[in-house]
Amino acid sequence: MESNIFSSSKDVFLDAVNAKDYVQLDRVSTIYQSLKNSVKKPLKMVLLYGKPGTGKSMFLSKLYQDLSSSQQVHLYQTPILDESEFFKTLSKDLFDIKYTGELNFTQFLVILNESNLYDIPLVLLDEAQLYSSEQMEKIRLLADTRKIKFVITLHKTEREDLIAKEHFQTRIWETIELENASAIELKMYIQKKLMKANCFDGANIFNNKSVQLIHKITKGNYRDTNKLLYTVFDIYTWYSENNPSKINTRQISNKIIEMAAIHTGLIDA
């Protein structure tokens, strides 16, 4: 393989959230379909949770892409932590009402109650663990009006469990958990991701043994796998340009995988 092929393969694993990068695996697709089904139900809130790097942001991005042509849906990938700015943003996006001054929760409720939207807007909030307890309580109260439906993501931590108990225990809601990939799923994820980008040579150099090592290092976490393989292909790019005789282009090197893992801090040197 030439260096530009390694470079193209490297770019496949850039740490970015883009719905077009969604990789269809059986279990992941089943969970995503259950999320789409949940959104159709008369639920006020849907909670999508899992450890960092399990694909929560990707799910929200794909949900936004899939639904935005048929209904009013708004995605907030970065939490708006100032309450006034949060309500002003919702007011503008949901009702096309712009505010230049402060807008508090009570004032926003008046706007919401006076609105006559044909469809209930869907609001997707990523990284919801960053919102304060007070702001989460107001989001829950907005959901209680049944005039806005929320899908929120939370990291699976002790604090997430606390937030869930505090805000959702007595509410009509649904939880969907995302998990790390198995070794088999991880191999499919890596190869499908590369083949989607037409990097067929890159996809073919992974065998079961190398994927087992990658899975051992990343524990099947998608974000860590992306970080690791970006660095793996970065190292391959350097060798192909500077010392091509040192690399085998037919099979990925476990030594280079380990080098990349040390470089990215996934294993200790």
> Per residue of the chain (269 residues), what is the pLDDT tens digit?
555 778 889 999 987 766 576 777 788 888 888 888 888 887 778 888 888 889 899 889 999 999 998 899 999 999 999 999 999 999 999 999 898 889 999 999 999 988 887 788 999 999 998 998 899 889 989 998 889 999 999 887 665 565 655 655 555 578 888 899 999 999 999 999 999 889 888 889 999 999 999 999 999 999 999 999 999 999 999 988 888 778 877 889 999 999 999 999 998 76
- 60 lies in a domain? yes
Q: Are residues 36 and 167 in the same domain?
A: yes
Read off the DSSP letter of residue 76.
E
Q: What is the pLDDT of residue 168?
A: 56
Task: Report the DSSP beta bridge partners of residue 46.
Answer: 151, 174
Q: What is the pLDDT of residue 31?
A: 87
Q: Are residues 161 and 40 in the same domain?
A: yes
- 21 lies in a domain? no
Q: Are residues 168 and 88 in the same domain?
A: yes
Q: What is the pLDDT of residue 167?
A: 57
Domain end (from 178, 205, 233): 178
Cα separation, 101 vs 98, in Å, equals: 9
Q: Are residues 59 and 105 in the same domain?
A: yes
Q: What is the pLDDT of residue 16?
A: 72
Q: Are residues 187 and 174 in the same domain?
A: no
Domain end (from 148, 178, 208): 178
- 134 lies in a domain? yes
- 68 lies in a domain? yes
Domain region containing 105: 26-178
Residue 61 neighbours by CB under 8 Å, 6+ apart:
17, 18, 19, 22, 75, 77
Residue 152 neighbours by CB under 8 Å, 6+ apart:
45, 46, 47, 48, 124, 125, 126, 128, 139
Q: Dihedral (C-alpha) 127, 11, 30, 155: value to the nearest 10 degrees? A: -20
Q: Are residues 43 and 174 in the same domain?
A: yes
Q: Are residues 170 and 187 in the same domain?
A: no
Q: What is the pLDDT of residue 241?
A: 86
Domain count, the chain: 2
Q: Are residues 148 and 203 in the same domain?
A: no
Angle of CA points 112, 33, 38, to nearest 5°: 35
**CATH classification of the domain holding 161:** 3.40.50.300
Q: Are residues 241 and 258 in the same domain?
A: yes
Q: Which residue has the tokens 């609001």?
A: 123
- 269 lies in a domain? no
**DSSP β-ladder status, 122-125 and 149-155:** parallel
| HSE value, Cβ hemisphere, 13 Å, CA-based, for 178 | 27
Q: What are the two backbone dihedrals, phi and then psi, of residue 125, each rounded to the nearest 5 degrees?
A: -115, 115
Of 241, 239, 243, the residue nearest 256 (C-alpha): 239
- 108 lies in a domain? yes
Q: What is the pLDDT of residue 187?
A: 94
Cα separation, 266 vs 269, in Å, equals: 10
Q: Are residues 110 and 230 in the same domain?
A: no
Q: Are residues 170 and 231 in the same domain?
A: no
- 268 lies in a domain? no
**Strand stretches in the chain, DSSP E:** 45-50, 73-76, 122-125, 149-155, 173-178
Q: Are residues 124 and 225 in the same domain?
A: no
The CA radius of gyration of the chain, in Å to the nearest whole number, is 22
- 125 lies in a domain? yes
Domain end (from 155, 178, 201): 178
Q: What are the two backbone dihedrals, phi and then psi, of residue 37, each rounded to the nearest 5 degrees?
A: -65, -40
